[in-house]
Amino acid sequence: MYQKIKIKLALMLPLMIGISKAQTFIPIPDTLSGSIIDLMIADSSKQFYNGYNTNTIGYNGNYLGPTIILNKGQNVTLNVNNKLRNTTTTHWHGLHVAPMNDGSPHNPITSGTKWSPSFTVMDYAATYWYHPHLHGKTMEQVLLGAAGLIIVRDSNEKALTLPRTYGVDDFPLVLQWKTFDAATKQILINDELDNTTMVNGIMNGQLNVPAQMVRFRLLNGSSHRFFYLAMNDSRNFKVIAGDESLLNAPVTVNKLLISPGERYEIIIDFSGQTGNNYYLRHIGTKLPAGYPGGPPDAMGMGTPGPLDNTDFNLLQFNVIAPTASPVTAIPSSLIANVITPSAGAGTKTFNLQGSPMMSMTNFTINGVQFDKNVINFTTKQDSVMIWSITNQSMMPHPWHIHGNYFYITSIDGSTPPAYMQGRKDVVTVSPQGGTVQLVMKYEDFNDPNIPYMYHCHILSHEDNGMMGQFIVNPVSTGINDVNANLFSVIYPNPTYNGWTIDGTSKENLLLISLTNSIGHVVLQQTILPVAGKFNFNVPANELTAGMYMLSLISKSQNQTVKLIKQ
């Protein structure tokens, strides 16, 4: 009898503590917008637990960073000041930018310096994010708090009746797993034993939401674990956007799996529910077997964390009075996604393997680990490629590619679920033979020197070398035919300092003409090919940033190409 009571008390104790603990309201990150965005990344500290100072890293603050709001078509300069003691990079995850502006391991920002990429925003309305990407240090810097959201707006999205008042009926939710050490409450640079989850940097937080349609922009900003989300009353909600675009139509679900690096926008209807409380939950017991955070697979393989394979509340919603003009219904169709046509596309296969086979920490892509000095493949601007990925390891891997969006054409041989049918940049390849096919076009940018990355977005896997890189070479601007009178390639595009033109011509005189976006000729010069070959540099340091047209004119042929000066 005595034993029984003791057990009961022990079971109740954590529950009681959970109830009596005052719940903190989650912060909604400040926003930054306009053509110049200033970010400062710095070492800092924050009290996650009363009385304990935890070392952190933040952008413009002590944990996470401001939400950057961009409009499609605008020009933006992002100044990143590195006040850390260490080198970092800032990657604009999902944005379609040139390799030199991407913030990959090839764009390091050393301590005490500033990096200022500037580019035109070309992406569709959706939720993107930024985070460090220094090879071998990505997990550490992200775990300590360096990450923020980017919201891109565009005219197609603005034309739809959707909730979009930031912090009122449109909330960013950065979901993260984390390990705190018991004694000093420091964040451990390790993701195997995650013992905490947070929303916008707050554990067991709460949020007031109006009694109407409310939009949430979800990011799984964890190093390792998946989230499987559901409401405590198992209600339906609607997914309206994936990583890089709105969907064709809202998709009704009552649970949603979100991998590290992935984003979804959802709409939850709180109409008529003023005064009630609900919870966003993680249903770890329902995760597919073998997924980090979920139940072990048939062979007993799974993650060993204390919260794995459990269900718990992530965030409490307090429903308050509706706003003055609430969105009470959302459109039944959103945008028209057009899957990249794959006619004439090349195919590349990628095999993901554990090394050794049963490893849960050490993974290879096509048998090799990342080497900064090795380019894993090259392709050409404007070409299309089908990526065919097979996972031969015991763990799922959320696969991410830089440089452009992709469309998923199949998962394990079937059409992907409707909520994955928009533009994506992360897709999970399931363990033990899972396959994914996707189609991607290398548009707008080339750089023969700086590669784009692809990798698993489990940050410990990425840091350990589950990453590769590819070069997008310039498109040939001429008729790619030995009989052509003129053949040339122009690179890099975009550029800061100038373009190189390499080519062959059967004529002995060529004219180069560069015009700016309002049609003014800014440079004109003749080229005299030697033995049918020419090589010419077009200086650009004096040009203002923007779009230019470069024409190469011979007696028998004309070529014009669109170039961008940063």
Shortest distance (Å) from residue 369 CB to Cu ion: 12
In this structure, the strands spanning 377-380 and 426-429 are unpaired
Look at residue 133 and give the partner it binds from ligand C2O, Cu ion, none, a contact being a CB closer than 5 to 8 Å depending on partner kind.
Answer: ligand C2O
Cβ-defined contacts of 411-417 (< 8 Å, 24+): 411/435, 411/436, 412/436, 417/251
Please choose which of ligand C2O, Cu ion, none residue 261 contacts, taking the beta carbon within 5 to 8 angstroms, the exact cut-off set by kind.
ligand C2O
The answer to whether 461 contacts Cu ion (rule: CB under 5 A) is yes
229 or 466: whose CB is closer to ligand C2O? Answer: 466
Residue number with CB closer to ligand C2O (280 or 401)? 401
Cα maximum dimension of the chain: 103
Helix (H) or strand (E) holding 533: strand 533-539
Indicate which of ligand C2O, Cu ion, none lies near residue 217 (CB less than 5 to 8 Å, by partner kind). Answer: none
Among 224, 402, 423, 565, binds ligand C2O (CB under 6 A): 402
Q: For residue 205, state whether it binds ligand C2O (rule: CB under 6 A).
A: no
Q: Give the nearer residue to Cu ion in terms of CB position, either 162 or 401.
A: 401
Q: Which two tokens stand for residue 497?
A: 């300092």
Nearer to Cu ion, 222 or 559 (CB): 222
Out of 96, 282, 397, 400, point to the residue binding ligand C2O (CB under 6 A): 400
* Residues within window 243-282 making contact with ligand C2O, judged by CB under 6 A: 261
- Helices and strands, number each (H, E), in the chain: 4, 38
User: Least Å distance between CB 467 and Cu ion?
Assistant: 10
Task: Name the nearest CA neighbour of 44 among 141, 110, 115.
Answer: 141
Q: Which does 70 bind (CB under 5 to 8 A by kind): Cu ion, ligand C2O, none?
A: none
**Residue count (the chain):** 566
Segment interacting with ligand C2O, rule: CB under 6 A, options 9-17, 152-160, 314-322, 449-457: 449-457
Please say which residue, 237 or 387, places its beta carbon nearer to Cu ion: 387
Mind spelling out the 3-state secondary structure of 430-478?
CCCCEEEEEEEECCCCECCCCCEEEEECCHHHHHCCCEEEEEEECCECC
Measured distance CA(289)–CA(309) in Å, rounded: 9
Round to whole Å and give the CA distance between 332 and 298.
41
Region of 324-332, 359-367, 450-458, 530-538 interacting with ligand C2O (CB under 6 A): 450-458
Q: Which is nearer to Cu ion, 366 or 535 (CB)?
A: 366
The residue assigned the tokens 């390799």 is: 99
- Per-position x/- string for 457-496, each x denoting binding to ligand C2O as judged by CB under 6 A, each - no binding: x---------------------------------------
Give the shortest CB-472-to-ligand C2O separation in angstroms: 16
Q: Which stretch binds ligand C2O (CB under 6 A): 221-229, 247-255, 453-461, 486-494?
A: 453-461
The amino acid at residue 264 is Y
DSSP one-letter code for 20: H
Binder of residue 455, out of ligand C2O, Cu ion, none (CB less than 5 to 8 A by kind):
ligand C2O
Per partner kind, with CB cut-offs from 5 to 8 A, the member of ligand C2O, Cu ion, none near residue 458 is: Cu ion
Residue 133 in contact with ligand C2O, rule: CB under 6 A: yes
Q: Is 240 in the site for Cu ion (CB under 5 A)?
A: no
Binding mask 386-405 for Cu ion (x = CB under 5 A): -----------x----x---
Pairing of strands 36-46, 75-82: parallel
Nearer to Cu ion, 287 or 490 (CB): 287
Residue 93 in contact with Cu ion, rule: CB under 5 A: yes
Contacts of residue 293, Cβ cutoff 8 Å, sequence gap at least 6: 177, 194, 225, 226, 227, 228, 282, 284, 287, 303, 305, 307, 308, 309
When asked if residue 137 is in the footprint of Cu ion (CB under 5 A), the reply is no
User: Is residue 458 at the binding interface for Cu ion, with CB under 5 A as the rule?
Assistant: yes
User: 339: which residues sit within 8 A by CB, 6+ positions away?
Assistant: 407, 409, 439
How many Cα atoms sit within 13 Å of 530 on the Cβ side? 2
Q: Which of 455, 486, 491, 553 binds ligand C2O (CB under 6 A)?
A: 455
Contact partner at residue 423 from Cu ion, ligand C2O, none, CB < 5 to 8 Å by partner kind: none
Nearest partner of 232 among 279, 199, 273, 172, judged by Cα: 279
Least gap, CB of 400 to ligand C2O (angstroms): 5
Cα–Cα distances in angstroms (integers) from residue 55 to residues 62, 142, 379, 526, in the given order: 9, 13, 42, 60
Question: What does the DSSP assignment read for 478-531?
Answer: S--STT-SEEEEEE-BSBSSEEEEEEEESSS-EEEEEEETTS-EEEEEEE--BT
List all residues 6 or more positions away from 281 whose beta carbon is below 8 Å from its beta carbon.
229, 230, 231, 232, 311, 312, 313, 314
| Residues binding Cu ion (CB under 5 A) | 93, 397, 402, 456, 458, 461
| Residues binding ligand C2O (CB under 6 A) | 91, 93, 131, 133, 261, 400, 402, 453, 455, 457
